[in-house]
Structure 1
Amino acid sequence: MMGTLAVHAKHIIGGQVYYTFLQQEANGNYTYRVTMRLYRTCESGQNIAEMPASVYLTVYDNDNPGTTAITSPLVGRSSFEQKELAQVDPCIVNPPRVCFQVAYYTTNITVAPNNKGYTVSFQSCCRDNFMVNIIAENMNGPAGNQGTGATYFTELPGRQNGIPENSSPQFNKEEATLVCAGKKFTYDFSASDQDNDELTYSFCSAYKGGRATNNTGIPDPAIPPPYDYVSYVPPYSGASPLGPNVTIDSKTGIISGIAPDPGKYVVTVCVEERRNGKLVGTLRKDFHINVTTCVKQVVAAMPDKYTECRSMTVTFLNNSTLGKPYHWDFGDGTTLDTNDPAPLPHTYAAPGIYTVKLYVDKNSNCGDSATAKVLVFPVFHTDFSTAGRCVDKPVQFTDRSTTDMGAMAYYKWDFGTGVAADSSNLANPQFTFTKTGNYQVILYARTSFGCEQYDTTTLSVYDHPPLYATTDTVICINDSLKLAATSDVPGTFTWEPASYRIFDENTATPTVFPLVDTFYTVYFTDQEQCTAEKRVAIDVRQQIHVNAMSDSTVCTGDEVKLRATSDGPYGYTWTELGSNTVVGNDLQATVLPQPPSQRYEIHAQLGKCHNRDTVGMKVVDPPRAAALPDSTICSGSRVLLRASGGAYYTWSPSYYVENPRSAITWAKPTDTTLFTVTVTDTLGCPKEVTATALVKVVPPVQAFAGNDTIVMLGTPFQLHASGGVRYTWSPSAGLNSTTSPSPFAAYDKDITYTVTAYTQEGCSGTDDIFVRFIAGPEIYIPNAFSPNGDGKNDIFRPLPVGIVQMNYFRVYDRWGKLMYSSTAYLKGWDGTVNGQRAPVGTYVWMVEGVDINQKTISLKGTVTIVR
């Protein structure tokens, strides 16, 4: 069950196994007390396993390597400790919690004497995947190789490789230590030995693990040795697990230095014990160290030395916490208080060596300080020159450094090859580069007073010196040409063939005047006798050619790109012949021809050779497109669109147009539409011109005559129409007006009135209202209804005639349960209760209302549901 082990193992952060010799048994066997310390993070919570209650310690016989363990006891946890940082620097902002747990598992192991001793091992499958300095490997490999796990073991000594009566050393401290990234720190990995053996400390490589687990969450017994090392991420290694700035004292076991970047690091320390010069055994401790970003409230920071000696004035850099008061003590009896962190120049009165101290927030409990060594022995200046850049030939480096005080005391040249041996301590060395390339050469120099500076330059080493020459070119047969060659280094030039029409062939700039196509070659030799050559091809033309584009017809107002072709790279001039105006100086020129026509000439010139050609442009007006009418139509109507001004027409959107390619066509838009017609003609201007016609569509008229109603016989009823600006009613029977939006109706029969509503544009729509005239005042109630959803008699409701107010309308079942209640006019019961159909049967109803005479009418009765 790898899931159980993974949850557990990723919170195990280290371990060690050590032993103490107890006794030799009567049968000659040796008994040791073996202890494993297992380290775990202090995290707790769901899906986070606690420290295991038991572990397997598996013993293998090194004399008989194989897959079978001689014993593998399940060892219970004997004790448990939790280590937390005793005191946190109060000047650290939001300090992290530093905490880990230590569990002890101790058992007695008895083994027979042998030559090579015994290995006692514990393995877990999976380290944390996010360790910075080791590679997280495959977590699904076979047993024994299941990713970057961990193996903690010790070796009980045999007759050949140790002393059987020996006890291993034990690490002294289990302390929680805060390690801040980029800061100095110490970590105590010291040990003691009860046999008083000599102890030597070193970093060493951690071991992989990788075992499956049973369903208890306890790793299975370890596989037999030998064990594989973890793979480290460069530049880290087992010997340098925290980078080059962290070391371990071989005599004390104290780890110290500048901590690396934040993250989790695997660190393994090996303690070798020797007795009388003989290696007795090795104790190992594997531990995960967390390096944390620590933000202090105040940090003082500046370079730790100023040794350039450029002048009596030294500019000090302040990289400290911003927004704090700074106190400078320049070491010469002068001080300065400032809040400005900008670079600070200070001039010393006399040469010497000074110690500068910078205090930040000096009067605060969390203040900080930094010191720097300052050398003031001006003026010191480093400089050097080089001679030669040819590969496989010595390059001379000459020191030109100067100092006004003391003498030059030390040189260190780095010739930039990346090979440590390629350096020199001479003042003026020579060095031979064996490969071409760019080399960053650095000179470090120091004076007898300790002033030190660097000077650097990039040296380009070549197998052929740099050489630049005239590019291949063409000339007129009647002309001469001055060639040119240059180089970045000193040297001599020679041109060939020296015998063919060339002057000054031993200079960088000869003059040639060939009569036929010719190749001239320049040879360059630098001062180290490295050579280079370049060939220049001269194409000699007896005549040149240029051809302008064909005559064309263009549209008025359009720019035109004139084009021409030629047989060589010449000088060109375009001229508008009518006004003799130059319009371009290339094979292409952009012009704006004016009506009715214009003519252009292109002139090509190569020295004394010339040629020319012309092109004409006829200028034609584009079509003058028109579209009409802008109009307004009623919804469902159509309009006749008309266009003019060209020979060909295209209407869009075409969906509403009967014939989109006709100048005159019917259109029937469904809503307001801007119709665009594209017009072209056959007069020579290919430009498409557009015109538009806007057709506004009046939406369908939403005429409304009112809801069907019941009116008391003999009582006038006022109608109300809406949806238009004027109206007509029909039939006229019983109406006092057929054009009023709100006429009165007085009639003695049921009747349907139709109203026609008109918009401002004259568009119209109709609607009907059914008016039923019944004697009243009265409330009429049906005695049955059939709520079956067929649209007929589905609702049981009262029909109030001459009733101005409904007090209530209620329906009960035969047991008196309320089934429906409402005070709304003409609202009724649909035969359901809480969304469920009421059973077929008889129900009791009650209704009450107030009529037009303010008389209350109360009725009750029964109704039958029929389905």
Structure 2
Amino acid sequence: QTLTNQFGCDSTIITTTNLLPSYRTTVVLDLCAGDSVLFNGTYYSENQPTGIDTLNTVNGCDSILEVSISVLLQPEIRYFRDTLCADEVLEFFGTTYTIDQPTGQHIIPSIENGCDSVITNIELTFNLPEAELELTDPDCPDSTGHWSISRLSGGLPPYTYAIDGINFEVAEGLPLRGPIVPGNYVLILRDALGCEAQQFFEIEAMPPLTLDLGGEIEVRQGDTLTLNPELNFIPDSLIWSPSDLLNCTDCLNPTLVPVNSTTITLRALMDAGCEVKDDLLVQVDKRIPVYAPNAFSPNGDNSNDYFTLFAKPNQVLEISALSIYDRWGNQVFDATSFPPNEESQGWDGTSRGQLLNSGVYVYMAEVTLIDGRKLQLEGEVLLMR
């Protein structure tokens, strides 16, 4: 560069420029498939495979880095799939797989570059065949219950089943059902792979129905008897017989007034068809207690002023006849067809309106019982003044 100085002379300036070197470098990063790497503040991966970074050299010039990644060999993806029974286990690469742990993944690294070489995905299916079992206990003693299978699920059809654990049958045509005697059983259900499920169950026998009328009872004729059967179950219906003796034939505690000895039968029935019955022998004591006083005092004090016969109204229908005689055989009183226990209808110690003397008199009576029998009575009574 030539310049003119102040005197008009030439002034020459020689400038020498030394060009410092710049650098452009290619950087290749090895990367395992699926991984990423941080380089100079930037993450590189298969989604960002290239980039440029600028660095400063020691003399201040740029150093260009061209970054690219080299994806190493993709790992081999494998799948291990199998179907096992619910109670089976599988040992795989040191891991135990069960129905509670059916999946997993095992990675085998490469010896050369450390990347994954083989990735094995474990996918297991466990069969658990299930049966929806419904049970019905017997409705009557000494009868059978019933079992029913309304639905089958899980496992791989077709299914076979056995109620007794021995005789297997093909499960076709749902619902499956059948009779079964009381006892303990196990239902075994198998699917097409041979997987089994067991279900234990019990059919409970109905206890024997008991009915007790007491066997035999003795009552006085004319007494009211209430029947009290003892049962260990609640019957759906009752039938008493003979029906004409009882005030009801379908109630639990009927009453009757037995006249003659008889056998009462009760049949207790359940809607399921079972029945139990019992008999009661009712012995009727026909000795009728008719009381005749041995003395009376007709003095108007309202105590023992009359002579008559006394008896239970439900045992004696009427006093058909009552006659009184003196010691010479003369009839001093006669009455017919009047009820017992009515003193005013008895003898008042007079004859034809005249007071009789104290003394012993003879009575003769005929009493009609409720069953129509006639009872003849006679005796002596003391009239006291």
TM-score, normalised to structure 2, is 0.40
Q: Which structure ranks higher in relative contact order (CA pairs < 8 Å, sequence separation ≥ 6)?
A: 2
User: Which protein is bigger by CA-based radius of gyration?
Assistant: 2
TM-score, normalised to structure 1, is 0.19
